[in-house]
Amino acid sequence: MPDQAAAMQNRGMVARPALWRRVVALAVLAGAAALWAATSAMASPVTHSTLDNGLDVVVIEDRRAPVVVHMVWYRVGAADEPPLKSGIAHFLEHLMFKGTDSMAPGEFSAVVEANGGRDNAFTSWDYTGYFQRVASDRLELMMQMEADRMANLSFTEAEWLPERAVILEERGQVLESQVGRQFNESIMAALYKSHPYGIPIIGWRHEMETLTGADAMDFYRQHYGPNNAILVIAGDVAADEVLEKAQRIYGPIDPNPDVTRTARPAEPPHLAERRLVFEDPRVGTPYVSRMYKAPVRRAGDQQEAAALQMLAALLGGSSTSVLERRLNFEEGIALSAWAGYSGLARDYGTFSLGIAPVDGVSLPEAEAALDRVVAEFLEEGVDPDQFARVQRQIRASEIYALDDVQGRARQYGVGLSVGLGVADIDGWIDALDAVTPEQVIAAGQMLLDRRASVTGYLTTPPADDVEEEVSQ
């Protein structure tokens, strides 16, 4: 079972928390996209404008507390890395805290902390984001520091060399020491033949070991700049004042003429179902994880994605959803069974299914049961009561989501980073509301074609894996 709950914890420290924590958190967020985006319908409107230098500015007013979240998102991530340089986007994220021509290494986070704030950063395949949460009267200081490092990053070998050890240690701690994440890394590598979503965001260790500060600076010079960035400011602010500040502080930064969208390899047709078996003595609970390549939310065209999101909610969104109800409560086969959809990406989304069987049920038996229940669901159609309940849950979640200004800010940052517009973010709830049971079943037919999928077994090595006596 993915330990997503644990990954949602926040360490509450000033230093950037682990990359993978952020990534997994985002996956959960995508799964619960309904929650975050729901706010837009009831909250004060979102302002979106673009400065002359290309910087997108999104302002979300939320006056309930004298706090502001300040985020800069770059439309570049691990899927834009050059060959042999996997991990460079994330390495650069770390080095962005090393100082500028006018800031000393570490000064950025120290200033945030001294002002009672928190800062953080995150790297994904499609974007790299930086944020601070501070008292609203400190916003301008944050903007000045962030604008500074947008154009004036500077570091020496004495600074980047130890940071490379830090990211290697991070890979060890948050990935290699956690067998479920290694398993997931293997599944993603098997899912994509050409596209860089098959390469782990944090990088392959043997390539990370060769990264240099010059590589990071090359990546910075090619991809960072106001014309490849989104500024999101949410909280106790007035939109016109924020725009004035943005114009004054970020406006003078020249667009970076080297910014181009990286051309990424597309996937060839997927003709054969793939499977993998990951055996490791550390495995506590064996489980089956299936990942399908799936459509993403597209600007102006989110209906198929919305149907997949509803499908995920119906199949596996809660303890009353189809997989849990059938496989856990009724048949007693599963400790847990789940479904998820991740559609907030530039190129490809994923739909996932999984089952952790009870003792005495093998992984092949569990997988067969999972497939049977999914097929029955697609044949029998959606239960109207459950469908209505899921839709009610989504609407109810709007109230909850209004409370999370940081989550709202993040939603716009991610959305704009992957090519959606504000209207797509704002329209997501309507898209979900418009989904019909028939569309859910139609979208779910993709689950019957496993050619674009990888099925992984995470399990312990066989106990009888010992030398047999030689008979000769």
| 194-202, 299-307, 412-420, 425-433 -> range binding a second copy (CB under 8 A) | 194-202
**Residue number, 8 or 448, with CB nearest to a second copy:** 448
Q: Which stretch binds a second copy (CB under 8 A): 107-115, 237-245, 267-275, 308-316?
A: 267-275
172 binds a second copy (CB under 8 A): no
- Which of 229, 221, 226 has its CA nearest to residue 258? 221
- In the numeric block, the tokens 């092949």 are attached to 364
User: Which pair of tokens denotes residue 163?
Assistant: 């940071």
Q: Kindly write out the interface string for residues 91-130 of this chain, putting x where it contacts a second copy by CB under 8 A and - elsewhere.
A: ----------------------------------------
- Binding a second copy (rule: CB under 8 A), the pick from 107, 178, 204, 251 is 204
Binder of a second copy out of 12, 162, 268, 360 (CB under 8 A): 268
Residue 303, CA distances (Å) to 291, 309, 395, 410 in order: 21, 10, 18, 22
For residue 417, which of 261, 306, 294, 308 has the smallest C-alpha distance? 261
- 265 contributes a contact to a second copy by CB under 8 A: yes
Number of amino acids touching a second copy (CB under 8 A): 40
Q: Return the number of the residue (117 or 196) whose C-beta is nearest a second copy.
A: 196
Among 4, 141, 144, 275, binds a second copy (CB under 8 A): 275
* Of 297, 245, 298, the residue nearest 138 (C-alpha): 245
* 61, 93, 163, 170: the active-site residue: 93
CA distance 142 to 17: 19
Query: Can you read off the two tokens belonging to residue 115?
Result: 């002002």
Would you say 390 and 435 are in contact if contact means Cβ atoms under 8 Å apart?
no
Other beta carbons within 10 Å of 251: 16
Q: Which stretch binds a second copy (CB under 8 A): 203-211, 225-233, 285-293, 351-359?
A: 203-211
End-to-end CA separation in angstroms for the chain: 45
Is 371 within 8 Å of 342 (Cβ atoms)? no
What is the per-residue binding string for a second copy in 322-341, x denoting contact by CB under 8 A?
A: --------------------
The gap from C-alpha 24 to its chain's centroid, in whole angstroms, comes to 6
| Residues engaged in binding a second copy (CB under 8 A) | 83-84, 86, 182-183, 186, 189-190, 193-194, 198-199, 204-207, 263-266, 268, 271-280, 379-381, 450, 456, 468, 470-472
Catalytic residues: 93
